[in-house]
Amino acid sequence: MTLTQWFIFFLIVQAVHFAGTWKLYVRAGRKAWEAGVPIYNAVVLMGIINRPKWWTILLFVPIVNLIMIPVVWVETARSFGFNSFKDTALTVLTGGLYLYYINYATDAPHIKGRDINPKSSSGEWTSSLLFAIVAATIVHTYFMQPFVIPSSSLEKTLLVGDWLFVSKFHYGARTPITTVATPMLHDTIYGTKTKSYLTKPQLPYFRLPGFQDIERNDIVVFSWPVDTLVDITPGNMRGSVRKPIDKKSNYVKRAVGVPGDSLEVRDGYVYINGEKNDLPDRARIQFSYTIVSKELLVKRAQDANGNYVFPSDLMNGRYEISDIYLSGVQGDNGPYVHTAQASEASIEKLKNNSNIISIERTHYDAIENNKAIFGAKPGRASSVDNFGPIYIPEEGKTVAINPESLPYYKRIIEVYEGYEMGRERDITVNGNEILMNGEPLTEYTFEQDYYWLMGDNRHNSQDARAWGYVPFNHVVGKPVFVWFSKDANVPGLAGIRWDRVFTTVGGEGPLVSYRYWFLGALLLYIGWSFFRKKKQPKA
């Protein structure tokens, strides 16, 4: 829906509210016209139902208002004596239209100073649950969201099994686009394949002001731009792409390229404006290696096929290689061939192990028209190790559109700044002429910033090299804290990575865990609560 459509819808809602409640306002000692003034009528209504005026704000917060509006309907009915379960059910099931009956068909007086405390334990439980959901939804949407690392693309900075808190306010919280959704669920209802939201109506994209820009090498959580595609290979993308931005799958990568940068990948290393990218000291680039050893470096997993997929304790511990598997055996009892994702520092240490016969890094040479890589076209060669140089689009900057540049910018024009912004744009090529909706297109000015997001695990990361730029309106937030970490390969409490519990994601130097500070603060709070209750006078 456009802003104009939403404004018309808002006026209709106000008219419906006025028609169904103006007599109730009068019975409560207010003026009839007060029921028809947008926003002011809600403030007045809070006084009528004996609720705080700040509830008015919650009526206009997307998703939260799905809970609050029915609550206000019920509270309005109860303020005029309609307290039974039947009244509550009719109020909710009729979408608030039961208030028309109370307004026109009864003379029920307003109950001033109504006791708003629940009359039963079940009522108290329901009230507490509703407002716990409201509070959690507000925190989840606008301040902090939990997130778990599902893949090894950012090893060893973030590990599989890290549980994060992602800040929404660093870069500015993105307000919900979907207006009807299950609170605190993302795109599906747990345990089912059912969508947790309605596609329509939608609000226009809007972001609250942040206090920090995305800086080069920041780790960023974002909505995966090509979510729902059956095939994400550039040039062969197919499938539904009309999923709301805020309901796309969440990914986490490192922003190695920011707006205005010229980016190139040479032999797996990123170069920005001709200079090798200087990563933070906690970041460790990983590549794929073939390791031949006299003895096994992995242990057998407990699965039906008995595959060797878990790293040995030595590999996972001393050498910090957690992504390794057996890929071949050269004889009855070895040597054994392994494929591993590892940092250069880990490989240097491993070379000194007498069990190792040879180690060779995998290199991917550039291939012409490599459709697995973003921007592929005849005459252009690329690979995951060798790519670019390309320009990272910046808001307000204009670029030439020609057959050479079109593969990089076509999706931006048609999708990110096209139908996702409510515009239908169709780009076609007629010989050397490029047309948008039938009109010649020779240049284009970007309407938002874009970022180049890659994993530190260069040979085992689904990232921008496959699907291209990430628009700023797809940015979710900044990971700031690891509150829990568990190695799924190690059963029970032994798998908890205590050195990572309550550690910061950013910063320089070795990780520092603040778990003892947290436990100390928790014990102090428990002790304070206990003694405070002891001092309270008994009834």
Report the catalytic residues: 153, 253
Measure the CA–CA gap between 379 and 414, rounded to whole angstroms: 24
User: At 42, phi and psi to the nearest 5?
Assistant: -70, -40
Are the C-beta atoms of 177 and 248 separated by less than 8 Å?
no
Distance from C-alpha of 251 to C-alpha of 533, rounded to nearest angstrom = 45
Nearest to 356 by CA among 342, 366, 370: 342
Strand 269-272, strand 275-276: pairing: antiparallel
DSSP class of residue 413 equals I
Instruction: Name the helix (H) or strand (E) containing 130.
Output: helix 121-142
Q: Which residues contact 249 (CB under 8 A, 6 or more apart)?
A: 187, 223, 224, 227
Residue type, 359: I
Dist. CA 374–CA 232, nearest whole Å: 10
H or E element at residue 300:
strand 298-300
- The helices-and-strands tally (H runs, E runs) of the chain is 12, 27
Both tokens of 52, joined, read: 């705080």
Q: What angle do CA 247, 457, 227 make, to 5 degrees?
A: 20
